[in-house]
Amino acid sequence: MMPDLGRYALEVSLAYLVSLGMIGALVLWYWARGRTVRRQLDEIETRRGKNE
Amino acid sequence: MASFWEYANPLKFMRTTDWLLPIVAIAAVVVTSIGLIWGFFFTPDDFRQGSTVKIVFIHVPAAMMAINAWVMMLVASLIWLIRRHHVSALAAKAAAPVGLVMTLIGLITGAVWGQPMWGTWWAWDPRLTSFLILFLFYLGYIALWSAIDDPDTGADLTAVLCLVGSVFAVLSRYAAIFWNQGLHQGASLSVAPGTRMDWAYKAPLYISMTGFGLIFLALVLAGTRTEIRARRMKALVTRERMA
Amino acid sequence: MIALLMRDLRLAFRAGGGFGLGLAFFLILAVLVPLGIGPEPQTLARIAPGILWVGALLACLLSLDRIFALDFEDGSLDLLATAPVPLEGAVSMKALAHWLTTGLPLVLISPVLGLLLFLPGEAYLWLIVSLALGTPALSVIGTFGAALTVGLKRGGLLLSLLVLPLYIPTLVFGAEVVSRGAMGLAVDTPLALLAGITAGAVAILPFASAHVLRINLR
């Protein structure tokens, strides 16, 4: 399955792995921050809902 | 067809992106996977560059999105300054980290590519230099956002910075071209991608460019949703403190 | 507006105003570089134009946060914003005062430092001309950066991160003028571009700075 990358195998796979890793990290970070903010907002809104 | 400006309403934006975001996200994953898998597994090696030519399928889309993200931030900043739509300012804020990472990917893949091809990780080629400068502009923009507490003040200041920065980024680009042509008449190292490229490369390249565009769109939508919520939260907390 | 300028100049010259700090920094840099690189005249002569320009740039940066900080703290900036003088004019005067206290001394002292770095004889004229043309742009751009960060605590570091990328075109063309001058080449193209950047920055950036200041004073 793995194509023959010849003598540049390391460079090519490194480029792919690093880039995908960085995009993955970025996505995870956006997702995690989105979740935290959403949870905090929900908390505040339910609290306000009770008070009023 | 509804007016584009309707999406300036945060509620409307949230409601639309509720169903739009998953679609864009799935499309981004699918299209990018097709492009990159095609590019990595099913393209022939270049007779001169060997298998390193496969890096192009990440390098060029990332570089393209790095510039497009800044252009999008510029447009969003202008919309905020002129029409005062909060969604616009928050979208610019959400786009900046994506642009930063895309610039970084462009630089890193370029270095990894340059090592075997030019024999060096880095060259002060105008194109590389301008990218490094773009990276610095992203850093400054993000740093200014994170330094300011009040969201509206932050939006105003960063929008002006984005405008002024754009002018100077373009100037820097020309300065870099001029600078390297000036005294150090080095060999032109840029392997211009896209010139006389075969369809065997072009097809997966266009697909992964679309994929990267979709990734950007999905992340900006998700980030904007987060920022809208964060802004609302901040407003609620302030109101609670006042009461 | 003249009164404003005189007031800023007086404040700068008074003890603690920071006048001379930039100059001292410029001098120290010109001493440190040969210590770090080695005393060979050829090497130093080759890098002298770049070092002198980078030094001038950093020396300018050093005093930027003082442009608005003191006025912001004691509230006189709020008075300025509501004064009959347009804020754009006041901002321009601030930039001019910064240039007179930082940029101009740098221009005047630069030949001496050029001597320390074995700058070739033909380049002195172009060093002075390019610095005289370029440092106003540094002051005006720096004023914009200072206006952006005026209300922030610990704004100094952020200020350099924001301002330094904006300095790149000025630096490139300024240093290019000097190194071309040192090699006896024609300097008119980079000189014209440098002058263009300065003229553009002086004409447009005060409006951006004033706008940003109004936002920060809101």
Q: What are phi and psi of B131, to 5 degrees?
A: -70, -40
The residues on B that touch C, with CB distances below 8 Å, are 133, 136-137, 139-140, 143-144, 147-148, 153, 156-157, 160-161, 163-165, 168-169, 171-172, 174-176, 178-179, 182-183
For tokens 């002060």, name the residue. Answer: B124
Cβ-Cβ pairs closer than 8 A, B with C, add up to 78
Does C160 lie at the interface with B, CB-CB under 8 angstroms? Answer: no
Distance from CA of A39 to the nearest CA of B (A): 10
Residue B30 near residue B107 (C-beta atoms within 8 A): no
Which residue of chain B has the CA closest to C190? Answer: B178
Question: How close B173 comes to chain C (CA, Å)?
Answer: 8
At position B162, the amino acid (one-letter code) is C
- CA nearest to B179 within chain C: C172
Closest residue to C169, CB basis, from B164, B168, B182:
B168
Structure tokens at B209: 């460019």
- Write the residue in C162, C164, C215 that is nearest to B156 by C-beta: C215
Q: How many Å apart are CA C195 and CA B236, to the nearest integer?
A: 51
**pTM over 0.80, yes/no:** yes
- The tokens for B136 are 């610095």
Confidence of residue B115 (pLDDT cuts 50, 70, 90): confident
- Chain B neighbors of C166, CB-CB under 8 A: 164-165, 168
- As a whole number of angstroms, the distance between CA B226 and CA A41 comes to 10
Please identify which residue in the block is written with the tokens 């540094």. C138
Q: Test A30 with B58 for CB contact under 8 angstroms.
A: no
Give the Cα separation of C148 and C5 in Å (integer).
21
Would you call A26 and B101 a contact, using CB atoms and an 8 Å cutoff?
yes
Domain boundaries, chain B: 60-178+199-243
Per-residue pLDDT tens digits for A4-49: 667 777 888 888 999 999 999 999 999 999 999 999 999 888 887 7
pLDDT of residue B157: 92
Confidence tier at C72 by pLDDT (50, 70, 90): confident
pLDDT grade for B116, boundaries at 50, 70 and 90:
confident
From chain C residues 186-215, the ones with a CB under 8 A of any chain B CB are: 190, 193, 197, 205, 208, 211-212, 215
Name the residue of chain C whose CA is nearest to B161's CA.
C148
Residues C28-36 have a mean pLDDT of 90
| Chain C residue closest in CA terms to B175 | C169
CA distances from B131 to B100, B105, B176, B210, C32 (A): 11, 11, 10, 21, 30
**Average pLDDT in chain C:** 87
* CB-CB neighbors (< 8 A) of B174 in chain C: 169
Q: How far apart are CA B76 and CA B8, in angstroms?
A: 11
Mean pLDDT, residues C178-201 = 89
Task: Output DSSP code: residue A8.
Answer: G
The Cα–Cα gap between C107 and C133 comes to: 10
Determine whether the interchain pair B98/A26 forms a contact, defined as Cβ–Cβ distance below 8 Å: yes
CA distance B60 to B209: 8
Tell which phi-psi region holds residue B84, choosing left (phi > 0), alpha (psi between -120 and 50) or beta: left
Contact A12, B54 (CB under 8 A): yes
Please tell me which of the candidates A11, A41, A44 has its beta carbon nearest to residue B52: A11
Place of tokens 């097709």: B34
d(CA A15, CA B83): 42
Chain B hits for A24, Cβ within 8 Å: none
Q: How confident is the model at residue B69 (pLDDT cuts 50, 70, 90)?
A: very high
Query: What phi and psi values does residue C63 have, to the nearest 5 degrees?
Result: -105, 5
Q: What percent of chain B has pLDDT over 90?
A: 48
- Is this prediction's ipTM beyond 0.90? no
Work out how many CB contacts closer than 8 A connect A with B. Answer: 96
Q: Quick one: pLDDT at residue C150?
A: 87
Is pLDDT above 60 for C100?
A: yes
Q: Does C161 touch chain B (CB under 8 A)?
A: yes
Dump pLDDT digits (tens) for B172-186: 888 888 877 644 334
| pLDDT of B3 higher than 70 | no
Tell me, yes or no, if B172 comes closer than 8 A to chain A by beta carbon. no
C134 burial via Cβ count (<10 Å: 0-12, 13-18, 19+): buried
pLDDT of residue C15: 58
**What pLDDT digit, counting tens, does each position of B193-239 carry?**
445 567 778 888 999 999 999 999 999 999 999 999 998 888 888 88
Which of B229, B231, B232, B239 should we substitute to test contact with A (largest number of A Cβ atoms within 10 Å)?
A: B229
Contact A8 B51 (CB under 8 A): yes
Predicted confidence at residue C170, as pLDDT, reads 93
Using alpha carbons, list the distances in angstroms from residue B4 to B30, B85, B86, B88: 27, 12, 14, 12
Candidates A30, A31, A35, A44: best to mutate against B (most CBs of B within 10 A) is A30
Among positive and negative, which fits the CA dihedral B222, B225, B231, B234? Answer: negative
What does the mean pLDDT of chain B come to?
85
When scoring A29, A33, A41, A47 by the number of chain B Cβ atoms within 10 A, the one with the most, hence best to mutate, is A41
Residue among B143, B147, B164 whose CB faces C144 most closely: B164
Which chain C residues are closer than 8 Å to B172 by Cβ? 165, 168-169, 172
